[in-house]
Amino acid sequence: MSENITVKLNSSPTELHKILKFEGLASSGGEAKQVIDDGLVTVNGEVETRKRKKIVGGDTIIFNGTTISITE
C-alpha cells in the first residue's frame, strides 16, 4: 500500500533521519539511520545513504511505499 503525505518543516533544513522518525516511518532514530544506511530511502529520486542529509522545502522522500513531500 502506498501513501502520500505532506510535511511542513518548522525548521529548515532538517536532517533526513529525523523526518523518518518524526513521521512514524521508523520507530526510533537508530532504526531511521539503519534504513538510510541500508539504501532503502530515496530523496528526489536518488538513493540516499547520508543519515544527516539536509532536507528542505521541495524535496521528496520515498521509503517503504510512502512518499513524503516537503514544504516550508
Long-range Cβ pairs for the range 31-36 (8 Å, 24+): 35/63, 35/64
Q: What is the pLDDT of residues 4-58, one digit of tens each?
A: 999 998 888 999 999 999 999 999 999 999 999 999 999 999 999 999 999 999 9
Domain layout of the chain by residue ranges: 3-71
Q: Under CATH, which number does the domain 3-71 receive?
A: 3.10.290.10
Strand partners, 60: 69
What is the reported pTM? 0.91
